[in-house]
Structure 1
Amino acid sequence: MIKSIPYLGIALGIGSLAGGCSVYPVSQEASGDNTFNIVAKVRCEVRDALRGIVITEAEKYLSDRVYGSESGLELAARLKANPQDFSRLRTELFTPSLRKAIAYYQNSTINYDFTLQGTESNVQGVQGGLIRTLPRDVAVVGFGLEGDRTRDVKRNFEISDHAITLAQKPDEDYCRMVRDVAFIYPMGGQKNIRDLIENFIFLNLDGELEGSTKEPNIRRMGDTILFRTRLTGNLAPGFTFTPPGGALGLSGLSFRNTNFREDYHQVIVTITTSAVGAGKGLSGRGLSGKAPPSDQRREQDGTNSIAVIRAKNLQDAVIQLGDGISRLSR
């Protein structure tokens, strides 16, 4: 029996190889969605929300002409049936009332901050015992060996979209992979970003959303969306032996194989409208007659919106930590 002990190293080595196959845990290994697909799904949700708002606004005009010779209902029906027609819309063909609302959102920027983190841990071990029965006592020797490997990769990046461009592009082929629900890895499914976009725009059009006291001419709203998925698997076979006579032999042997995979996916989405003035302007719907901001100004305001949401998230985390410590001390 004692001669079988060298084989323990072989068994442990095989387990180590099996547990360490992935040395770079990326999202597609677990969820099936790579970075390209995750980004596309988020952008396509925003695109569909923007398109839906254009259709909703057009439908309010009923039989009134709003685009070329088309009424509001006719334009809405055509865009619903043929979404590709959004890429061919021309702002100058809208009637003044609807054109003002659309032009207002030509100043809007959608910004995204993605954090995609994958962590894998593999623990392989073996434990056993040697026993020898003597005339007056029993000698027992225990032994064990364990290996623990953890790999962690965090990918972070920011991108932005010009709202009017995103409403017209990308095309349907780019958005074909969007799924309704992904139960295990929710970042791969719908995230209801439409609610953020719709509330921001309708608050501007109908509720006169105001900027902060420091930046009254900048409207912004943002969501922080976080999904964490952890999967764990265990395998622990064991064997018991009875050594013959009084010889030193193996009395027991057990193996441990524990693996977990955790995916942490976070995206911050902000929508920002720059230099829109304050109070009611054109058509009494919160629109401004000011000249649109430069591309550089619009992009900078969008980037600042991500920084504002990050700072607010950090502030909230500190407050929650303080509340937790306070409760523990009571």
Structure 2
Amino acid sequence: MRKLTLLPTILLASCSIYPLPDDIMAYSSRDIATQVRCETRYALQQQILDMLTSDGDNVYYDGKVGSAASAALDSDRTQFHNLSWKKFKWEGHDDFSETLEDLGSTMVSYDFTLDGTENNALGFSGTVLGDFSPRKHNLGFGLGNDRTREVSRHYRVYDTFNSLVMGMTEKFCHNFNMFDKSSKLPDKSFTTKNHYLYPSTGMLRIETLVHDFIIQDIEGNLGSDPKAGGWKQPNMTDTITMTTKVSGNLNPTSTYTPLNPGWDVISLGLKADNYRTDKHTIIVDLSLPPDKTGQPVYDNFGRLIDPKSAAAAKKQADDNLDQTERRNFEQRTTVFVQ
């Protein structure tokens, strides 16, 4: 990632007609989506590891005690590709594997809105002195150019717990550009660190959403909006909004005292004000599909390959995202009116 060392220089040099994330943070919209998807995958795997050790030696996987199974999976995460919910067992919970199998079909839906605004204001000013005895005349002048450019990119991505945990390959998260040879950006890999300047390129703590959804669905009678099917299709949604504004200005002025009578320029000034604002809104929705016929189909890379069979689940996910967008808009409108 390019280092932001000389702020004014970068601001002046990064003026673009089409202000995209790539211009200043060296992350494309595809990179941001991949980072979020890989974080969700990582969060799900962590939940499985934690679940295996949650009740001492009472949880088993494939005949192994939970702690041993967890350590084996954690040491080689490629083993998740062969994970089977039927191999889980929890003493005293006869339907444990069936519960996990149902959770595996949970839809993970993302809605990305990436807004970029760039403003560059350049002004030139000066003062001319007319020294004619016994009078002096001052004449000031100024020129300016103010440019603002905005772009908003919006898109949606869909996964399931199963496609993320078992289907997504390790390589996909360790080189974002592997499948895009046209990319001119440096190769990116999933990071488990926060990025405080541009949060959408680092960890967003999605694990808390995944954890709460699983717990509330199993133990808390999780429901959903009545218009989306009530308790029959439980869902949980987080809306994450991150705004970063970087600004800089340059205002040099030069003055001097004229030695001869007549018209002389006695001051010259240059004013350059620049700012770049990036507002990223990411909605993550977790929801169980409405029925078994709505189960989506994914290939070995975790990609959706059969839209027809996935129609019902995708429709449910879209409804959830649409409702969240409307609710967010209504909340912002209410705050503005008040």
Instruction: Give the TM-score range, shorter chain.
Output: 0.7 to 0.9
Matches within 5 A, 1:83-162: 83-95=77-89, 97-162=95-160
- Which residue does 1:195 correspond to in 2? 208
TM-score, normalisation: structure 2: 0.80
Q: Taking structure 1 as reference, are residues 249 and 104 closer, same or farther at Cα in structure 2, changes over 3 Å only?
A: same
Long gaps (5+) in structure 1 = 1-14, 277-290, 324-330
Q: Distance in 1 between matches of 2:85 and 2:192?
A: 32
Q: 2:42 aligns with which of 34, 44, 48?
A: 48
Amino acid at match of 2:254: F
TM-superposed CA distance for 1:206, in Å, is 1.5
TM-score, normalisation: structure 1: 0.82
Q: Distance in 2 between matches of 1:75 and 1:128?
A: 75
User: Contact between 2:106 and 2:288, CA under 8 Å: does it hold in 1?
Assistant: yes
- Which residue does 2:317 correspond to in 1? 302
Larger Rg: 1
- Which residue does 2:52 correspond to in 1? 58
Q: Taking structure 1 as reference, are residues 212 and 142 closer, same or farther at Cα in structure 2, changes over 3 Å only?
A: closer
- Which residue does 1:77 correspond to in 2? 71
User: Contact between 2:290 and 2:316, CA under 8 Å: does it hold in 1?
Assistant: no
User: Contact between 2:224 and 2:236, CA under 8 Å: does it hold in 1?
Assistant: no
Q: 2:236 aligns with which of 218, 221, 242?
A: 221
Matched pairs, number: 293
Q: Taking structure 1 as reference, are residues 218 and 238 closer, same or farther at Cα in structure 2, changes over 3 Å only?
A: same
**Bigger mean CA deviation after superposition, 234-243 or 205-214:** 205-214
| Local SS of the residue matching 1:203 | helix
| Local SS of the residue matching 1:25 | coil
**Bigger mean CA deviation after superposition, 133-142 or 298-307:** 133-142
Q: Deviations over 1:31-56 (max 9, x none)?
A: 22222221111111111121122223
User: Contact between 2:108 and 2:161, CA under 8 Å: does it hold in 1?
Assistant: yes
Q: Distance in 2 between matches of 1:292 and 1:59?
A: 33
Q: State the percentage of identical aligned residues.
A: 25
Amino acid at match of 1:262: T
| Local SS of the residue matching 2:19 | coil
Q: Distance in 1 between matches of 2:290 and 2:280?
A: 33
Q: Taking structure 1 as reference, are residues 134 and 60 closer, same or farther at Cα in structure 2, changes over 3 Å only?
A: closer
Long gaps (5+) in structure 2 = 1-8, 175-188, 296-309
User: Contact between 1:45 and 1:190, CA under 8 Å: does it hold in 2?
Assistant: yes
- Which residue does 1:9 correspond to in 2? none
Amino acid at match of 1:42: V
**Bigger mean CA deviation after superposition, 147-156 or 19-28:** 19-28
- Which residue does 1:242 correspond to in 2? 257
- Which residue does 2:277 correspond to in 1? 262
| Local SS of the residue matching 2:205 | coil
| Local SS of the residue matching 1:209 | coil
TM-superposed CA distance for 1:92, in Å, is 4.3
TM-superposed CA distance for 1:321, in Å, is 1.7
- Which residue does 1:68 correspond to in 2? 62
Amino acid at match of 1:175: C
| Local SS of the residue matching 1:173 | helix
| Local SS of the residue matching 2:109 | strand
- Which residue does 1:11 correspond to in 2? none
Q: Distance in 2 between matches of 1:247 and 1:101?
A: 92
TM-superposed CA distance for 1:77, in Å, is 1.8
Q: Distance in 2 between matches of 1:194 and 1:231?
A: 29
Q: Distance in 1 between matches of 2:14 and 2:195?
A: 27
Q: Taking structure 1 as reference, are residues 97 and 73 closer, same or farther at Cα in structure 2, changes over 3 Å only?
A: farther
